[in-house]
């Protein structure tokens, strides 16, 4: 008998992410009515399924009592309910991890539903004739997807079926599923890192390491501007995309060809990733820049300051930020003056010092260095801590400096006379340049007082010294 008048509530289970919902069912002499899936009310009730994103609704009609199906684990989430009749449901965690093999059972009638996370084995046995079992899923069936199965009679799971399995209707395929000891656990969703050969990409490789769940791509292995990108991967298999790919030639971006390339990499490709992330419930991590600001603010820029880019590069980065901010699950890490494994300002200054060259360096642009190792740690910290989605600033700590100050530090730390460097204004530095040059923000100082990243960045001077001696 279906219970009427329940309050919309949720009950957790021993299987992480598997939750049982009591649904309000309204009935009278004519029959009954329920809102089987109501996103707005569920979110308001604190049921954390706003990004479930179902794409298909399936109904399995069962004539006889005792019809038994399962145990099937698919690489997508399910929202299971009953339209008519009643079932005994059994779920087994078949995911990699400490809860592998955990079992939960309960009876479900039209006044209950259960959310089944990806990789949790699902099975049921009908307790009434003419039972209509219905479920929403957030991905379409694919012959290339990874499926995991468990035998209904497995001794380890030891499910106490209300009707003995040797007396009920079961398919031959379900009878022959493996025992728990032979089940290959379903791996967690993967992380995709783009731009894996760049300065940041190499730091991300060092931070996250070689792991079956981490995929590193370059322009040669995944073209982010290709119209085929939406079908280039089985995107529902990914939990996170870390976008370390970008066009960073700020001066070349001011040329016709550079402008086209900058917009393609920093906007068109980002828009494609944002669409994929939104459609597939993926967390998108995006690296931004101080160039999204014009540098006229008299104090440090906060994550909430309005964008005001000067040149083409800054405009493309600002556009990318605006696009990524629309993704339900996103982190934008805003950086300045990035230094990592590769060609950069610090390496150039160290080389000039060694070669006996006395350079002119601009002394009217102020900011802080950001080391790629700190960016990589910040990315991991935000993901592991499940920090609130949004914009975060990440640079080294310490007193802001000009490029001239940093050049002097490089010379001194490498055993050379810092007085060999001459400070000049930005205008004077580019006065005799005939090729296009991008406008630079004079103030690139970012406010890094974030509760979620406060322990990540180190002092800029100490980071610089360690970098030069590594």
| Active-site residue list | 72, 135
What is the Cα–Cα distance from 468 to 349, expressed in whole angstroms? 11
Cα–Cα distance measured from residue 398 to residue 53, given in angstroms and rounded to the nearest whole number: 44
Q: Residue 170, preceding bond cis, omega within 30 degrees?
A: no
Residue 101 region, left (φ>0) first, then alpha (ψ -120 to 50), else beta?
Answer: left
Four-CA torsion 205, 211, 212, 213, nearest 10 degrees: -70
Residue 159 main-chain phi, psi, to 5 deg: -70, 130
Alpha helices in 102-255 (DSSP H): 172-175, 199-208
Instruction: Give 303-306's long-range contacts (Cβ < 8 A, gap of 24+).
Output: 303/334, 303/390, 303/391, 303/392, 303/393, 303/447, 303/450, 304/391
Which stretch of DSSP H or E encloses residue 81?
A: strand 78-84
Q: What is each CA distance from 113 to 41, 106, 128, in whole angstroms?
A: 15, 11, 17
Ordered DSSP codes for 2-57: PPPS---EEEE-SSTT-EEEE--EEEETTEEEE-S--HHHHHHTT---TT----EE
Strand partners for 275: none
Alpha-carbon Rg for the chain, nearest whole angstrom, is: 28
Cα dist from 74 to 171, 339, 377, whole Å: 18, 43, 32
Whole-Å CA distances, 315 to 247, 303, 307, 458: 12, 17, 9, 29
Q: Rounded to 5 degrees, what angle do the CA atoms 50, 54, 56 make? A: 170
CA distances from 67 to 60, 63, 163 (A): 11, 8, 9
Give the Cα separation of 367 and 434 in Å (integer). Answer: 27
């Amino acid at each position: 008998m279906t219970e009427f008048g329940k309050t919309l509530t949720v009950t957790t289970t021993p299987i992480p992410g598997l939750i049982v919902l009591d649904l309000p069912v309204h009935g009278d002499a004519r029959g009954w009515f329920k809102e089987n899936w109501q996103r707005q009310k569920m979110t308001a009730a604190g049921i954390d399924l706003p990004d479930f994103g179902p794409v298909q609704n399936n109904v399995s009609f069962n004539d006889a009592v005792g019809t038994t199906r399962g145990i099937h684990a698919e690489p997508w989430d399910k929202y299971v309910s009953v339209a008519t009749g009643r079932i005994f449901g059994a779920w087994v965690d078949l995911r990699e991890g400490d809860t592998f093999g955990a079992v939960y059972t309960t009876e479900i009638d039209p006044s209950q539903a259960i959310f089944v996370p990806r990789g949790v084995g699902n099975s049921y046995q009908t307790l009434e004739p003419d039972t209509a079992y219905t479920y929403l899923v957030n991905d379409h069936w694919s012959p290339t997807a990874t499926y995991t199965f468990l035998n209904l009679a497995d001794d380890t799971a030891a499910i106490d079926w209300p009707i003995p399995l040797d007396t009920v209707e079961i398919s031959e395929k379900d009878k022959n599923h493996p025992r728990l000891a032979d089940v290959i656990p379903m791996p967690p969703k993967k992380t995709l890192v783009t731009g894996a050969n760049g300065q940041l990409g190499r730091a991300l490789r060092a931070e996250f390491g070689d792991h079956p769940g981490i995929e590193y791509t370059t322009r040669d292995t995944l073209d982010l501007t290709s119209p085929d990108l939406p079908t280039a991967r089985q995107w529902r298999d990914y939990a996170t995309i870390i976008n370390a790919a970008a066009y960073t030639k700020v001066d070349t971006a001011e040329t016709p060809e550079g402008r086209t390339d900058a917009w393609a990499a920093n906007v068109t490709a980002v828009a494609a990733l944002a669409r994929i992330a939104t459609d597939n419930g993926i967390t998108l991590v995006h690296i931004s820049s101080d160039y999204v600001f014009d540098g006229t603010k008299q104090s440090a820029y906060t994550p909430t300051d309005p964008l005001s880019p000067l040149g083409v590069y800054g405009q493309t980065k600002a556009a990318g930020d605006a696009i990524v901010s629309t993704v339900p699950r996103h982190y934008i890490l805003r950086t300045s003056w990035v230094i990592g494994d590769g060609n950069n300002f610090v390496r150039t200054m160290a080389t000039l010092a060694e070669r006996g060259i006395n350079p002119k360096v601009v002394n009217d642009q102020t900011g802080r260095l950001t080391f790629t190792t700190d960016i990589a740690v910040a990315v991991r910290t935000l993901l592991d801590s499940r920090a609130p989605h949004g914009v975060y600033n990440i640079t080294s700590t310490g007193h802001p400096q000009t490029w001239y100050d940093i050049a002097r530090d490089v010379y001194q730390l490498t055993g050379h006379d810092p007085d060999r460097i001459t400070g000049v204004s930005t205008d004077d530095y580019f006065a005799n340049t005939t090729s296009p040059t991008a406008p630079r923000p004079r103030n690139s100082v970012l406010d890094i007082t974030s509760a979620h990243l406060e322990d990540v960045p180190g002092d800029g001077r100490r980071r610089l010294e360690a970098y030069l001696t590594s």
